[in-house]
Structure 1
Amino acid sequence: MAGSSRPRGSIYRVINQQLLHLFRLWLRPTFINHEQTALALAQHAIPTNVRYILDSDSLADRLLLELGCEASRLPEPLTLDPNAPNAYFCLNHREGFWGRRSARGDARSTSLKVDPAIGDELATRLVPVSIYWGHQPDRALSLWKVLLSDQWASTSKFRKILCIALTRRHILVHFGDPLDVDELTNDLPSAALKTKRIHRLLRRHFKSQKQSIIGPDLSHRRTLLDELLAAPAVDAAIMTVAEASERPRHRVAAQAYRYASEIASDQSYRVIRFFSIILTWLWNRLYNGIEVSHLERVRAVSDNAEIVYVPCHRSHIDYLLLSYVLYHNGLALPHIAAGINLNLFLVGPLLRRAGAFFMRRSFKEDLLYKAVFDEYIHLLLSKGYSLEYFVEGGRSRTGGMLTPRPGMINMTLRGYYRDHHRDIQFVPVYFSYERVLEISSYLDERKGHQKKTESLRDLFGVFRYFKLDFGQVSVNFGEPISLEQFLSMRVDSDLEMIEPDKHKAICRELGHHIVQGINAAIPVNPTQILATLFVHAGHLEIPEERLRRQLRFLTTLIEADQISSIFDQSDAQIIDYFLSTSGAERQLRDGEPMITITPGGLIDMRYYSNSVTHLFVLPSLIANRLIQEPMIDPEPFFDQLTVLAPLLNAICFSKLAPSAERINELLEIFDYKTEDQQVSSARVDSPLASDLIQIAGIIEPALKQIALACALLKVKPDLLDDLATINERIKTLTITTTAFNPEDLILTERLIQMLSQTQPINDRKAQDNANWIKPQAALATLISEAGQTDLQHLALDLIKENIQSAATTG
């Protein structure tokens, strides 16, 4: 690795200056990770301490490096002083007129320790800089893309000239994390060994960084399909199906090829650019911008692991939103699992070329399709592709997280069992909309209307929304979940030897862990908080002054990973913003401004309120207890929360872990204090005291679910066998015949499993040892006696109806 030895005469300096000026005016490159804080160069930003490393020696690359350093006031890589050394080095040098990179290393490379350009400075920091001209994966048989896109082959002068002229906005310059020479080589005795290690580390960095930015080196789609069909698992499935159906093997193989063609994506950078242009226009028409948070979490793990993005699913917009964000932030685009219902005429091929692969809703009984799909997922992961799929299975119609489906998680795990030389990092992503495009159709479905099949008319129907204000979209990347670490804590044996029951349990637990991570990543916006206030207010209008106070009060109660930047505005501005996006209105009542909402608008608000329920679990529990019993003993109360926390986490997909410190913090916010180990109200007439009932209502549906499940299990210990039927009965309830909203009482399989008794049913003492005993006791001080009585009567009625129905059917 050597510094530049090019002549620095006056002509060379003038040319350099003019080209640099031209690049400033014409090019619009994207610089990534180039700030001083990101590079931790503040205390090292001395020209003699910093050296930039380029993969190849190129004038255009050097000028782009100079522009990036100028933008962030980093130490300059170039100098016009003919006697001073430049602060950049190149791993490889160019040969020939068109600048093809030499296959051999740079013969001028010398020891970093003794290189005259560096001297004996032990604290020299090396900053690898990767430059991508076109930043798209390499695809075969496309001359235009070969000329204009960055590929795994090196970028020639001719291609760079074309990129400068035609694709000036599609150039990425990525500054890698600095490497400390002394720290990396102080255990080696000789300069030659030090140089060798630095070269090896830098080559590895450039390779992994390239895969992270432009994706893996792609094969042609036909080659990928041929490889898929030649896989042993697919070949075995073809033989099995051929024998079972008594069909010729070649016909079954042809069927497998049709399945593979139906499934596989065909990513095209031209289509991705097309979507980028269209979506930029669409976002600007529909939304007030896209706020992206914590993308650095993806960058931190993308070099050393395969990435599986696991977003929440709220809208069809989700399919393209994540790819749009990644594309505009210089990360490789994922291959996206999409339902076969989206493989529409015209739309399907476009989505396929944008990275979508299609899957049928159910294929458990189709051995051949399952084998082809399993192998396709394994191939994607083993070749280094990023994936994106929705663990909820479909779009949430309620606004809250849905129970995770095990299908894609199961296939990802099985692929990892077969080939686990690289970790898989699940990256939770939350899309937070201030107004969801399909909200009206969701409400129709919840009223019992049949779900509409997707069609081209729906696509063109988006134009009618342009006159509405849909607010802002927030995209937040959660904490990545390492599959390697997750399995290491649960599996002791060889991964390929995991028993089926153990594998199913791991799938369920991983799915729950993922949706908890998604919920934890929610970027909270004002619509969600204000919707929560309206839903639990019990009426359609709230005095504006009170609404402002409650808005700030609720934001102090939550511990969110990300808060929307809109909260930085004044209370009045936030209320005005809410009015512009929600359909709520400001009206005067006896001279006092009131914020009002229609009954239909209140139903909409429930959707947005449900999305933040998990953030209020602990505050709402405390409020419930203080309402039922103002004088409480903190220690038993903490034990009560410890019993209920796992069940509430199962319902709300929260990460409730009660601590005395957090409880005391919330009690102070509630204006309560602790005296002589008793919690009592500091000021009974405090305006905050009137808010307790409203806050307590947030967690009330989840508490009633637990209470109903306990009451049912008391009468019917084998409830799990009839859970689906019981839930269908619950859905038929009406508000006029019960005191409950049926939607709030749907029981999950996970909750029933956690509450089911631990001993056989015929054991005389089983009833005393059932898991539901302690939760039922814990709920005694959180649900009123009247409420508990109503739930017990409802449980008996449901069991009675179920028995009668079974008898009639029999």
Structure 2
Amino acid sequence: MAGSSRPRGSIYRVINQQLLHLFRLWLRPTFINHEQTALALAQHAIPTNVRYILDSDSLADRLLLELGCEASRLPEPLTLDPNAPNAYFCLNHREGFWGRRSARGDARSTSLKVDPAIGDELATRLVPVSIYWGHQPDRALSLWKVLLSDQWASTSKFRKILCIALTRRHILVHFGDPLDVDELTNDLPSAALKTKRIHRLLRRHFKSQKQSIIGPDLSHRRTLLDELLAAPAVDAAIMTVAEASERPRHRVAAQAYRYASEIASDQSYRVIRFFSIILTWLWNRLYNGIEVSHLERVRAVSDNAEIVYVPCHRSHIDYLLLSYVLYHNGLALPHIAAGINLNLFLVGPLLRRAGAFFMRRSFKEDLLYKAVFDEYIHLLLSKGYSLEYFVEGGRSRTGGMLTPRPGMINMTLRGYYRDHHRDIQFVPVYFSYERVLEISSYLDERKGHQKKTESLRDLFGVFRYFKLDFGQVSVNFGEPISLEQFLSMRVDSDLEMIEPDKHKAICRELGHHIVQGINAAIPVNPTQILATLFVHAGHLEIPEERLRRQLRFLTTLIEADQISSIFDQSDAQIIDYFLSTSGAERQLRDGEPMITITPGGLIDMRYYSNSVTHLFVLPSLIANRLIQEPMIDPEPFFDQLTVLAPLLDAICFSKLAPSAGRINELLEIFDYKTEGQQVSSARVDSPLASDLIQIAGIIEPALKQIALACALLKVKPDLLDDLATINERIKTLTITTTAFNPEDLILTERLIQMLSQTQPINDRKAQDNANWIKPQAALATLISEAGQNDLQHLALDLIKENIQSAATTR
């Protein structure tokens, strides 16, 4: 890498030093990816081999680069030695006082060139550095906002001066992944070709990086709506509705425009900054901190794909929390799908300018609205916007994952079918709250109270929570799911030629895959583990010593993507932390400290316990098996787990993949040992062995749900045809929760569909080989005989009471 030195006079050095000192004192820039470990520079300790690349030659940019290098002790880009070579280069230079951008000036010392004649520099690593002055998308803005906000057009000297003076905290400096010059250019014969390739790669990097940070180049909202209404699909819907309703076309078109205006977001950087200030204040009042994990997974895919964030939905806070985290980590904000119920007076316009677009709960029958909404989603994806929507459809009232709704997934797929030149990456996100803001209203709804409609009063009601301790919030980004790869394994034909039934199956499978990814990304916190212990303890108080032991025991059983940093504290500190956030108390019983909880608090704990059920599926299955038969043969047991895995996956949305190694590992944790081909207890009086019943209870409701479905099909094999007639009766069952959970009905239907046989029911052999036979046999080793008999009687009563004319068999 070649670059000549240029003379630096004493005045130049003094000015540089003084400006750098001023920047240190005044500016508060955000540095992204600037640590040595992130840049993988720790093993490349030769400072002369590190070169920084700026998009444009600018004194202010160079000084910010110097500050970023100082912060992480990276090799310095600037030097006062007049004989030293440059440690930074620029792709473009400025001409004139106002800094007009120009690609000329290749003879300058800061112009990037590759010179193979300099052998010791062939291993040079180029670190591209992007600098954004008030990052936000380019759009129709007021003059003042144009002057202070970064845009796709280059930032002039005048705008930088204003930003330095007025928006000193809204400057972002992003260090890109290093490029190895030798590795990238060793197949080219000449320096000119090497230089050309490096320039091309860097230009591509700066362009994609800019889109991932400030978003795509936006047009005026009115222009966007006009483009939406001019789309062939919307125009065809307007014509169809006009003919069917016998209304003039212009009136139907006006209705379509009103729909588009109701739907479309209107992102405003000024409002986003307002939310940033308000939310920073709010989080500090409500929470002890926000712990963010695995954001690098988003950065790794954001340059080469459109991003669709698919978080779990536990609270209205979710809408704001993800955007807040992305904004403060230098990533483009998504456009967020929000229910029309949130389009409240005052609140709705603010949410719309923060990136929300509003959708009605159901619009299958409204052809015009559906066409406008479909086209809007396609337009967002095709223009490179990132999206955010909740595949569960609504907030979970149980704490567990809800069945994925196909609506938004369906529209995303159809948009991708039409335009798939860039991949779409679904990024699962899990919000883990130690205390959910709306927990009391959720419990009221599950007791049968009517759901309250959102109102402005609810917004101001948040102030009453300031006196409570809501603990910490954890935000974990899961493994991205590539839509391109997902479809390539399932579709052989042209995407636009996919048959409707095939498309529906893909929607269901993708939705299931997404919620599995969300569940896999859960950041586990102490509240969830301790809540699980209380829920399955069978009483309202636990000796503190036992609770500490069980806390660590359950933590060793799980394989989580992320564990809260609170677990790094001592057991005593974790218990004290739990007491401060949960409402539990420490009391003395005969001189022994007990941790107690109220009956109402136990109901609250069930919510948090449900959120981690999927993590204990395999340990709980093993515990159930050991309770029924302490001596087990691992090989048949493994086969039984394989039979039950897809059914448990349908309930818990877990990726249950039992392996002999993992089973043996858990058996050792349970203090069991292998004796020949069987497993038996090492010590009958072991404290860990006494906890089996408690751990077994975690998955027991799901096992009973599967057993009930099998029992119903045993009584009436063709139940699927008459399932609707017993739906209301199933609602009265309280197998999985203490109060009716609407998900129970959905899960029962899904299980019966999975277990229903496809052969004719009058074929005796078909009945003997029905899908429910093997699961029922596997469950016989996990559920007590008395429990199985109770479920058989319940199934028979359900059929007799609700399908009187059905032919039943015993």
Q: 1:22 to 1:154 in 2, by over 3 A?
A: same
Q: 1:695 to 1:736 in 2, by over 3 A?
A: closer
1:40 maps to: 40
Distance across 2 between alignment mates of 1:384 and 1:737: 43
In the TM superposition, residue 809 of structure 1 has moved relative to its aligned partner by 24
Distance across 1 between alignment mates of 2:387 and 2:470: 29
CA contact (8 A) 2:291 2:473 kept: yes
In the TM superposition, residue 799 of structure 1 has moved relative to its aligned partner by 1.8
User: Secondary structure of the residue that 1:783 maps to in structure 2?
Assistant: coil
List per-residue Cα deviations over 1:23-64 (Å, max 9, x = no partner).
011111111111111101112132221110000000000000
In the TM superposition, residue 141 of structure 1 has moved relative to its aligned partner by 3.5
1:524 maps to: 524
In the TM superposition, residue 192 of structure 1 has moved relative to its aligned partner by 1.1
Q: 1:186 to 1:300 in 2, by over 3 A?
A: same
Q: 1:808 to 1:374 in 2, by over 3 A?
A: farther
Q: 1:806 to 1:21 in 2, by over 3 A?
A: farther
User: Secondary structure of the residue that 2:338 maps to in structure 1?
Assistant: strand
User: Secondary structure of the residue that 1:192 maps to in structure 2?
Assistant: helix
List per-residue Cα deviations over 1:700-724 (Å, max 9, x = no partner).
0010010001111222334344445
Q: 1:20 to 1:117 in 2, by over 3 A?
A: farther
In the TM superposition, residue 745 of structure 1 has moved relative to its aligned partner by 7.4
- Between 468-477 and 140-149, report the one with greater CA deviation: 140-149
User: Secondary structure of the residue that 2:31 maps to in structure 1?
Assistant: strand
CA contact (8 A) 1:2 1:90 kept: no
Q: 1:22 to 1:567 in 2, by over 3 A?
A: same
In the TM superposition, residue 122 of structure 1 has moved relative to its aligned partner by 1.3
User: Secondary structure of the residue that 1:429 maps to in structure 2?
Assistant: strand
User: Secondary structure of the residue that 1:747 maps to in structure 2?
Assistant: helix
- Between 108-117 and 234-243, report the one with greater CA deviation: 108-117
CA contact (8 A) 2:115 2:191 kept: no
Distance across 1 between alignment mates of 2:111 and 2:282: 53
Where do 5+ consecutive residues of structure 2 fail to align? none
User: Secondary structure of the residue that 1:424 maps to in structure 2?
Assistant: strand
In the TM superposition, residue 329 of structure 1 has moved relative to its aligned partner by 0.3
Superposed counterparts of 1:682-761, under 5 Å: 682-733=682-733, 747-761=747-761
CA contact (8 A) 1:758 1:769 kept: no
- Between 39-48 and 196-205, report the one with greater CA deviation: 39-48
TM-score by length of 1: 0.97
CA contact (8 A) 2:114 2:195 kept: no
- Between 484-493 and 707-716, report the one with greater CA deviation: 707-716
Q: 1:3 to 1:164 in 2, by over 3 A?
A: farther
CA contact (8 A) 2:398 2:741 kept: no
Task: Please state if 1:351 is matched with 2:351.
Answer: yes
Q: 1:235 to 1:113 in 2, by over 3 A?
A: closer
In the TM superposition, residue 4 of structure 1 has moved relative to its aligned partner by 7.8
List per-residue Cα deviations over 1:123-148 (Å, max 9, x = no partner).
11100000000011111142112101
In the TM superposition, residue 293 of structure 1 has moved relative to its aligned partner by 0.3
User: Secondary structure of the residue that 2:717 maps to in structure 1?
Assistant: coil
CA contact (8 A) 1:336 1:356 kept: yes
CA contact (8 A) 1:3 1:90 kept: no
Distance across 2 between alignment mates of 1:739 and 1:630: 34
- Between 737-746 and 197-206, report the one with greater CA deviation: 737-746
Q: 1:773 to 1:586 in 2, by over 3 A?
A: same
- Between 337-346 and 786-795, report the one with greater CA deviation: 786-795
Distance across 1 between alignment mates of 2:168 and 2:113: 38
CA contact (8 A) 2:704 2:735 kept: no
Distance across 2 between alignment mates of 1:505 and 1:159: 52
User: Secondary structure of the residue that 1:120 maps to in structure 2?
Assistant: helix
2:640 maps to: 640
CA contact (8 A) 2:5 2:85 kept: no
List per-residue Cα deviations over 1:45-86 (Å, max 9, x = no partner).
322211100000000000000000111111100100111122
List per-residue Cα deviations over 1:535-573 (Å, max 9, x = no partner).
000000000000000000000000000000000000000
In the TM superposition, residue 186 of structure 1 has moved relative to its aligned partner by 0.8
In the TM superposition, residue 453 of structure 1 has moved relative to its aligned partner by 0.3
- Between 53-62 and 800-809, report the one with greater CA deviation: 800-809
Distance across 2 between alignment mates of 1:115 and 1:504: 57
Q: 1:545 to 1:319 in 2, by over 3 A?
A: same
Q: 1:725 to 1:60 in 2, by over 3 A?
A: farther
Distance across 2 between alignment mates of 1:41 and 1:214: 27
CA contact (8 A) 2:5 2:84 kept: no
- Between 447-456 and 113-122, report the one with greater CA deviation: 113-122
- Between 717-726 and 170-179, report the one with greater CA deviation: 717-726
Distance across 2 between alignment mates of 1:717 and 1:39: 61
Q: 1:644 to 1:789 in 2, by over 3 A?
A: same
Distance across 2 between alignment mates of 1:724 and 1:19: 75
Q: 1:805 to 1:730 in 2, by over 3 A?
A: farther
Q: 1:114 to 1:399 in 2, by over 3 A?
A: closer
Q: 1:117 to 1:783 in 2, by over 3 A?
A: same
In the TM superposition, residue 18 of structure 1 has moved relative to its aligned partner by 0.3
Q: 1:612 to 1:387 in 2, by over 3 A?
A: same
User: Secondary structure of the residue that 2:801 maps to in structure 1?
Assistant: helix
Percent identity of paired positions between Structure 1 and Structure 2: 99
Q: 1:415 to 1:79 in 2, by over 3 A?
A: same
CA contact (8 A) 1:56 1:91 kept: yes
Q: 1:660 to 1:736 in 2, by over 3 A?
A: closer
In the TM superposition, residue 760 of structure 1 has moved relative to its aligned partner by 3.5
CA contact (8 A) 1:4 1:89 kept: no
CA contact (8 A) 1:308 1:426 kept: yes
Q: 1:805 to 1:443 in 2, by over 3 A?
A: farther
CA contact (8 A) 2:27 2:169 kept: yes
1:588 maps to: 588
CA contact (8 A) 1:48 1:118 kept: no
List per-residue Cα deviations over 1:153-211 (Å, max 9, x = no partner).
00000000000011111111000000000100111111111111100000000000000
CA contact (8 A) 1:630 1:679 kept: yes
User: Secondary structure of the residue that 2:807 maps to in structure 1?
Assistant: helix
In the TM superposition, residue 753 of structure 1 has moved relative to its aligned partner by 2.4
Q: 1:303 to 1:97 in 2, by over 3 A?
A: same
CA contact (8 A) 1:735 1:741 kept: no
CA contact (8 A) 2:233 2:371 kept: yes
In the TM superposition, residue 750 of structure 1 has moved relative to its aligned partner by 3.2
CA contact (8 A) 2:731 2:740 kept: no
- Between 757-766 and 168-177, report the one with greater CA deviation: 757-766
Q: 1:602 to 1:161 in 2, by over 3 A?
A: same
In the TM superposition, residue 474 of structure 1 has moved relative to its aligned partner by 0.3
TM-score by length of 2: 0.97
CA contact (8 A) 2:6 2:82 kept: no
Distance across 2 between alignment mates of 1:669 and 1:253: 67
CA contact (8 A) 1:704 1:745 kept: no
Q: 1:736 to 1:263 in 2, by over 3 A?
A: closer
In the TM superposition, residue 800 of structure 1 has moved relative to its aligned partner by 2.2
CA contact (8 A) 1:531 1:605 kept: yes
In the TM superposition, residue 752 of structure 1 has moved relative to its aligned partner by 2.4
In the TM superposition, residue 523 of structure 1 has moved relative to its aligned partner by 0.2
In the TM superposition, residue 801 of structure 1 has moved relative to its aligned partner by 2.7
Where do 5+ consecutive residues of structure 1 fail to align? none
Q: 1:196 to 1:111 in 2, by over 3 A?
A: farther
2:565 maps to: 565
Distance across 1 between alignment mates of 2:24 and 2:524: 39
In the TM superposition, residue 781 of structure 1 has moved relative to its aligned partner by 0.7
In the TM superposition, residue 802 of structure 1 has moved relative to its aligned partner by 2.2
Distance across 1 between alignment mates of 2:317 and 2:106: 49
User: Secondary structure of the residue that 1:806 maps to in structure 2?
Assistant: coil
CA contact (8 A) 1:112 1:191 kept: no
User: Secondary structure of the residue that 1:52 maps to in structure 2?
Assistant: strand
Task: Please state if 1:56 is matched with 2:56.
Answer: yes
- Between 447-456 and 45-54, report the one with greater CA deviation: 45-54
- Between 115-124 and 338-347, report the one with greater CA deviation: 115-124
CA contact (8 A) 2:188 2:194 kept: yes
Q: 1:145 to 1:391 in 2, by over 3 A?
A: same
Distance across 2 between alignment mates of 1:40 and 1:180: 12
Distance across 2 between alignment mates of 1:566 and 1:633: 39
Q: 1:783 to 1:808 in 2, by over 3 A?
A: closer
User: Secondary structure of the residue that 2:243 maps to in structure 1?
Assistant: helix
CA contact (8 A) 1:701 1:745 kept: no
List per-residue Cα deviations over 1:563-608 (Å, max 9, x = no partner).
0000000000000000000000001111111000000000000000
Task: Please state if 1:182 is matched with 2:182.
Answer: yes
CA contact (8 A) 1:2 1:106 kept: no
